[in-house]
Amino acid sequence: MSVVQNLTFVFIAGLITALATGVGAIPFFFFEDISDRWNIVLWGLSSGIMVSASLFGLVGEGLAEGTPLEIAIGMGIGVVLVIVAHEILVDADVDPRQYEEADFKKLLLILGILTVHSFPEGVAVGVSFADLGLEGGLELLGFTVPILAVFMTVAISIHNVPEGTAISIPLRSMGVSEWRMIWWAVFSSLPQPIGAVIAFGFVRYARVFLPYGFGFAAGAMIYLVLTEFIPEALELGENVPSGGKPELVGGITAGVLVMLPLAVI
C-alpha cells in the first residue's frame, strides 16, 4: 500500500474513535437525564479500558520493540506534556454554554483545551498501527492490520462514549438539541484522527522512536485516568450511597476484562 493509503486508513480509524464520542449523546434521545450511578460506572469502565490497553497493549508492544528505559522515558514525556498543556490552559477553562455561542477565536480555544485530552488518545491509535501492512496482522479491506491496532481502536472508541455523555449533560441542561449535542461530542474528539496520523507517520518512518511512542501514549493516558477520569467519578459519587465506589470498582473491573485478551495475544 502507498503512503497516502496508509495515512488515510489510519485517519479513518482515528475518525471512528472520534465519531464514537457522539454515541455518548444518543441516550438523551430517549431519556431526560442519566443517573450519577451510571455515569460512575461508565467512567470506571473507561478507566479500566484505558489503563489495561496501556499496560497490556502499548507497554507490552513497546517492550518488544525497545528497552524498559526507552518506554519509561516515553511515558515520562507523555505525562510532562499533558501537565504542561494543562498549565498553559489552566486559566482558559471553557463553560459548555460557550460551545453554542462561540466565535471563531473561542472555538480555537475550545479545540486547544480538548486537544489536551484527545490528542494522546489519537497518538495511541497511531502508534498501534506502526506495523500496518506487515505480516502477522488481520486482513481488513485489503490492509493487513496489526491486532494491537484493532484493540486500541475499539478501546478508545468505547472510552469515548462516557466522554460524550459527560459533554452532553451540561448541554442538555441548557436546552441544546440532541443532534447538536452529538456534533459537539464528536467535535471534542476531532484531534484524535489528526494525532493518529501524525503519530503513525512519525513512528512508521522513524522506527527508532517507536518504543518512545508507545511509552508516550501509555504514560499520557494513564496519567489522564488517574488525574481526571477517576476523580470525576469520585466527584459524582458524592451524591451516591457509599460514595459510588462499588460502581467505580465494578466499571473498572469490567473495563479490564474487556481488554484482558490483549494480555494473552
Higher pLDDT, 260 or 225: 225
List, for residues 205-234, the tens digit of each pLDDT value. 777 888 898 898 899 889 988 888 888 888
φ/ψ of 134, rounded to 5, equals: -95, 170
Strand (E) or helix (H) holding 114:
helix 104-128
133: left (phi over 0), alpha (psi -120 to 50) or beta: left
188-194 mean pLDDT: 86
117-125 mean pLDDT: 83
C-beta atoms surrounding 236 within 10 Å = 22
Radius of gyration of the chain (CA): 18
Percent of the chain with pLDDT over 90: 12
Q: How far apart are CA 134 and CA 112, in angstroms?
A: 35
Helix, strand or coil for residue 139? Answer: strand
Residues pairing with 144 in the sheet: 139
Locate 52 and state its grid cell.
489495561
Q: How far apart are CA 41 and CA 116, in angstroms?
A: 24
List, for residues 60-112, the tens digit of each pLDDT value. 888 888 899 999 999 999 899 888 877 766 555 555 555 555 554 555 555 55
Q: Output the pTM of the full model.
A: 0.78
Instruction: Name the DSSP letter for residue 137.
Output: S
Percent of the chain with pLDDT over 70: 85
- Domain-wise residue ranges, the chain: 3-24+34-264
Q: How far apart are CA 194 and CA 177, in angstroms?
A: 27
Interacting residues of 106 by C-beta distance below 8 A, sequence separation 6+: 94, 98
Interacting residues of 221 by C-beta distance below 8 A, sequence separation 6+: 50, 51, 53, 54, 58, 78, 120, 121, 124
Distance of CA 234 to the CA centre of its chain: 20
* Closest to 248 in 3D by CA, of 47, 50, 31: 47
> Does 1 score more than 70 pLDDT?
no
Q: How far apart are CA 211 and CA 218, in angstroms?
A: 11
109-132 mean pLDDT: 75
pLDDT band at 168 (very low <50, low <70, confident <90, very high): confident
